[in-house]
Chain A
Amino acid sequence: MVPWQRTCAGENFALPHGSAVAANQPTKNRVLSSLSNFAQRLAALIRGVHPGSVSVRRPGEDSLASPSAGSRSLDGRLPESFEALALELFALQFETNDPYRRLCIARGRTPKHVGCWTEIPAAPTEAFKDLDLTCLTPKERRVVFHSSGTSGQRASRHFHCPESLTLYATSVQPWFQQHLLGDIDVSLGGQSIALAIHQVSLTPAPDAVPNSSLAYMLGVLDAHRGGRDSVFVGRLRSDGFWTLDFDALHAALQRSVSANRPVLLMGTAFNFVDLIDQFESENIQFRLSPGSRIMETGGYKGQSRALPKEELHARLVGHLGIPEDHIVSEYGMSELSSQAYDHSILKCSEKDTGAPVRGIFFFPPWARVRVISPETQSEVSEGETGLIQVTDLANVASVLAVQTSDLGIRRGDGFELRGRAPTVEPRGCSLMTA
C-alpha cells in the first residue's frame, strides 16, 4: 500500500495563474483565482508564524495594561491585518457562494455594507446539511468532509478544492505543534525527540474514511512528522460507525513501551471511551513512556456511551499512565478548517510560572471566536454563556463566518465549552411514505 501521505499531503495543488482552465472560464475563474490567490497568501502568512511566538489574551488579562501579552491577532505579527483579510475573503465568497450571498442579502449585509469583520454574516453549521454551501462548482469539488452523525441524520458537507486543502494542511500544523508538542525544545535537540514520538491515531486511516476531516487532519500531522511508523488503528464498520482494532492498538502501545518511546495518541472522545471499555473488560493497563500525550476531540454523536470529560480524562490517566496535563482537548468540526485547543503541554521550566489555564479553548490567529447571545445575537460579556461563532480565514472555499450550535462561556479571546444546543432533529422517518 502506498502510504497515504505520499499521495496527498505536501503536494502543491495550487493552480498556476492564467492556466488553460482559467482562460476558458473567464468570469467565474477570475474570482476563483482570487480565492486561490487568497489561499496561497494566507498559507504563506501562516507558515511565517513560528510556533510559540503567538500569545493569547487569557481571561482576566487586560491587553491594554500589558501590551506585551498581545491580543491575539494577526496584526503586528503578520503583514496583513485580520480585518482586511476577512473583508477581502468575505467579498470573494459573497461573489461565488450563491446560497451565502442570498443569506447576506436577506440580512442586508453585503460587502458594500460591512466595514468590520464582526459584521460578516455567519452561516449556521446546520446549513451545511441543507445546502451546498460552497464557492466551488461541482467540477472543482475535489474532496468533501462530512460531519460525523448518527445514521439517519443528514451529515454536513464541506467541499474542498486542492488549494483549500493545501491551506487546511498548512493551518493545521503550527497550532497543533504549539499545543501538543510545545514542551519539546527543538533547539536542544528536541527535533529528534519530536520525531521519535510514536503517533497512534484511533481513527481509521484517511484513505479509508476520505470524508472525515479529523482523519485528514491526523494524516496531515502524520505526514508532517515524517510518518515514521505511525499507525491508524480505527476501522470503518459496514454500518458506517468507527471501531477500534484492539490488537493493532495493543501491539502499537506495546511496541512503544518496549522501545521506551513516547506515544502521541489521538482520537475522538468516543474512540477513547471504546478504548477504556475494552481495557477495563480485559483489565489492561499501560505505563506509557514519559512524554506520552493525548489529543482528544469532543463529540459522541450516539456512537458510544457519553462520559463526562473529567471522568474520561481520569480513566485515561489510570489506564495509560499519561499525566492529566498531557491530555489536550481539541475543538474542531468539519465545517471549519482551523482548530482550537484547551491548553498547551508546557515545558518543565514553564510549569512553575503560575497555574496553567485549562479548559479554555483558543483558535489560532487566523480564526477568531465570538460568543453570541442566542437571545439578542450580540456578543456576550466576559463570563457569560452564548453560542460559539467562528470566523475562520482558512475556510476559504465555503464561508468564513460559521455559527455553531455549541454553547460556550466567553473567556478572554477564548471560550469554555458548555455543550450543544438541541438542533433541528432529523426529518422524515422510515415509517413515512411519500
Chain B
Amino acid sequence: MSLPALPNLFLADLGSGLALRPETLRDACFALRQNREHWLAGQRTRPLLEMVAYTAEQWLQPDYGYRVRALRDGPAETGFPATTLARGLDAFFRSLSLENLEALIVQDLGDSRRLDDFTSTVAEARGGRTSLARGPILLAHIAAGNLPNPTLFSMVLGILLKSAQLVKCPSRSSLLPRLFAHSLAHTEPKLGSCLELAYWPGGDERLNEILFHEADCVTATGNDETVADLRRRVPLRTRFIPYGHRLSFAYVSNELLSTYSIKRVVRDAGADITAWNQLGCLSPHVFYIQEDGVVSPEGFAELLAVELAAREAAEPRGDLSPDESAAISTRRAVYEMRAAVTVGAREPFRGENPFREAPGQIRLWKSEHSTAWTVVLESNLLLQQSCLNRFIYVKPVRKLAEALHHLEPYRHQVSTFGLGAVDFRAVELSRELAHWGVPRICPLGKMQEPPAPWRHDGRPSLGDLVTWTDFES
C-alpha cells in the first residue's frame, strides 16, 4: 500500500540529522504554552478522553494509515519485527478505552470531573472542602528507546491533564511517538498544536537546560545513570518524575504445575517472554518454578523451550545487532560449558572437582544456528539478569520466600511479578509479594499488558503529575 509522506508537523519529522537550535526550542515551548492557553486549557475532560479513545480505536483498524506505516517502517526503525510490533501496539491501544481512561482519572483523582471543576469525595465533603486538580502547563517527557508504549502513554496522560507537551524522542527511534502524535493531530488538529516532538543528543546540556526551565514538570525514562544525571540538572521548581531501570519476574506455584494446566501456563509464559522481545521493564528475567509440582522445573523448562521454538516460527524475534547477539552467544557458551561439565560430572572427575564453586543443576535449551531463544535451567538462585531478546532463566524454588530472599538486593528495582497460581493461593502469594515491595502482580501472559489505570512503578501516574487547589468553604 502506498501512503503519502507524513507532513512536517513536528520538529522530529525533520529527521535526527537536524541540529536543533536553542532559540528554536525556546520558541517551540512558547508556542506550545500559547496554544494550550488558547484551546486545550479551556477543554473539558470528557471530549479529550473521547478524542484519545477514538484515536486508539482507529489504531486497532488494520487499514488505518498510521498503523500501516508503523508496521511497514517500524521493523527498520525500532528493530522489532512487524508481528511483535502489531501484538504490542494492539495490546496498548486496546487498553486506551473510554472506560479505562475514565477509570484512571477516578482512581487517581477521586472524581472524573476533577480536572474541570471543584468536586469532592465523600470524605472531602464531610470536611466542607472541594478540590480541583490541575495538570502542568508544559509537561516534558525525556523518552527512552527500548519500547514505544511508555512514551505513548505519557503523551496520553498529558492530554488528559490538558498540558502542552514536549517529547524529547529517543535517539534510536522517534517513529512511533511521531506516528501517534500525527494520528492525534489527525483526530483533532488543535490537539496536535499543543504537542511537540523533537530530538537532540542526550549530552546537549544547553538544550536540556532550556527544556528544564521552560517545563513545569519533566518525566524521564532511561537507565538509572541517565535519569540520576538528569535529576541533578532539574531546577527545584520543576517537578521531576523519574522512571529508572526495573526488573520483572514470574512465579509458578505447584498446583498449576499439573498435567491439566501446564499447557496454558507454558503458553502464557511464552507470551510474556516474547512480548516486545522481552526488552521492557515489565518483561520477566527469571521464571521461579515451585519444585513439588507434578511437572518438575526441568519439565517446565523443556516445555517452555518447545513453546519458544513454536513462537519463533509464528512470530520470529528478528535480527539483532552484533553486540546483542554476541551477548547471548557469550552467555550461552558459559552455560553450555557449565552444563557439559555438570552432566559429565555424573561420572567422577579424573582429578579433583574442577569447579571453583558448585554450579548446581544446569541445563540449556537453545535455538540452533541462531540466538532466537534460549532457556537456562539453573538451580543456583543468585540473580543473573537476563541478556533479554528471548533469553530466559528457569529456577527451581521450594517456595516464593526463597526467590524473594535472593532478590533482596534488587527489592527496590522490581516492577512486576507474573503469578501463576490458583485463586486461593494467588491471594496469599500476592499478599506476600505486596508486603515485600512488589508494585504490580498480574496473571501470566499479561506482564507486558498493564491496564491503562495501572500505577506505574507503584505510583499513581496521573496523581503524581497534578497539583491541587483546595477550596475550603
Contacts and interface: CB of A to CB of B under 8 A. Distances in A.
Interface of A: 98-99, 101-103, 105-107, 123-124, 126-127, 129-133, 137-138, 154, 374-377, 385-387, 403, 405, 407, 418-419, 421-425, 427-429, 431-432
Given A98-B350, A98-B354, 4 more contacts: A98-B349, A99-B340, A130-B338, A425-B385
A105 B344 contact: yes
A403 B356 contact: no
B359 to A, nearest CB: 7
B21 interface: no
22 contacts: A103-B341, A105-B340, A107-B340, A126-B337, A127-B333, A127-B334, A127-B337, A130-B334, A130-B338, A131-B341, A131-B355, A132-B355, A138-B351, A374-B328, A374-B329, A375-B329, A376-B369, A407-B322, A407-B323, A423-B331, A424-B334, A432-B409
Indicate the member of B326, B359, B387, B408 with the most A CB atoms within 10 Å.
B326
Given A130-B355, A377-B369, A102 B326 contact: no
B354 A99 contact: yes
Contacts of B380: 427
A420 to B, nearest CB: 9
A102 B340 contact: yes
A66 to B, nearest CB: 31
B467 interface: no
Contact of A131 (B326, B356, B371): B356
A127 B336 CA distance: 10
Given A99-B341, A425-B385, A427-B382, A419 B323 contact: yes
Contact of A405 (B326, B337, B343, B351): B326
Nearest to B349: A98
Given A102-B341, A375-B325, A432 B382 contact: yes
Contacts of A424: 330-331, 334, 384
B469 to A, nearest CB: 44
Nearest to A129: B356
A427 B409 CA distance: 12
A133 B354 contact: yes
B236 interface: no
B406 interface: yes
Nearest to A405: B330
B350 to A, nearest CB: 5
Contacts of A405: 326, 330
B339 interface: yes
A403 B337 CA distance: 12
A419 B324 CA distance: 12
A423 B323 CA distance: 11
Given A99-B354, A105-B344, A374-B325, A429 B337 contact: no
B380 to A, nearest CB: 8
A433 to B, nearest CB: 9
Contact of B351 (A126, A127, A137): A137
Query: How large, as a class, is the contact surface on chain B?
Result: 35 or more
Contacts of B338: 127, 130
Given A386-B322, A421-B326, A428 B382 contact: yes
Contact of B344 (A106, A386, A419): A106
A107 B368 CA distance: 13
B6 interface: no
Contacts of B320: 375
Nearest to B352: A138
A124 B323 contact: no
A154 B356 contact: yes
A127 B356 CA distance: 11
A98 B348 CA distance: 10
B384 A427 contact: yes
B376 to A, nearest CB: 11
Given A374-B326, A377-B329, A386-B322, A429 B371 contact: no
A106 B336 contact: yes
Given A374-B325, A387-B329, A429 B409 contact: yes
Nearest to B345: A102
B49 to A, nearest CB: 43
Tell me what chain B mostly uses at the interface: helix, strand, loop, or mixed. helix
A306 to B, nearest CB: 15
B370 interface: yes
Interface string B306-328: 00000000000000101101111
CB-CB nearest 8 A-B residue pairs: A102-B344, A106-B340, A374-B329, A421-B326, A124-B333, A374-B325, A374-B326, A385-B322
A431 B409 contact: yes
Contacts of A386: 322, 326
Contacts of B371: 374-375
A126 B333 contact: yes
A130 B337 contact: yes
Interface string B436-449: 00000000000000
A132 B356 contact: yes
Nearest to B410: A429
Contact of A423 (B325, B330, B337, B352): B330
Given A126-B330, A405-B330, A422 B339 contact: no
Contacts of B340: 99, 102-103, 105-107
Contact of B326 (A98, A126, A387, A425): A387
Nearest to A131: B354
A129 B330 CA distance: 14
A98 B340 CA distance: 11
B255 to A, nearest CB: 29
Interface in B375-394: 380, 382, 384-385, 387
A305 to B, nearest CB: 14
Contacts of A403: 333
A432 B406 contact: yes
A325 B28 CA distance: 50
Contacts of A102: 340-341, 343-345
B329 A132 contact: no
The interface centre, meaning the residue of A99, A132, A133, A154 with most chain B CB atoms within 10 A of its CB, is A99
Nearest to A124: B333
Contacts of B349: 98
Contacts of A103: 336-337, 340-341
Given A432-B382, A432-B409, A421 B330 contact: yes
Indicate the member of A98, A126, A133, A385 with the most B CB atoms within 10 Å.
A98
Contacts of A377: 329, 369
A376 B368 CA distance: 8
A192 B338 CA distance: 52
Contacts of A99: 337, 340-341, 354
Contacts of A419: 323
Contacts of B350: 98
Nearest to A372: B329
A403 B387 CA distance: 19
Contacts of A131: 337, 341, 354-356
A421 B323 contact: yes
Contacts of B354: 98-99, 131-133
A277 to B, nearest CB: 21
Contact of A421 (B327, B339, B344): B327
A123 B354 CA distance: 14
Contacts of B334: 124, 126-127, 130, 423-424
Contacts of B384: 424-425, 427
B337 A123 contact: yes
Contacts of A129: 356
A416 to B, nearest CB: 13
Contacts of B387: 422
B394 to A, nearest CB: 17
A428 B336 CA distance: 21
A377 B355 CA distance: 26
A347 to B, nearest CB: 37
Contacts of B356: 129-132, 154
Contacts of A127: 333-334, 337-338
A280 B355 CA distance: 46
Q: Which of B320, B322, B336, B354 counts the most A-chain CB atoms under 10 A from its CB?
A: B322
Contacts of A407: 322-323, 326
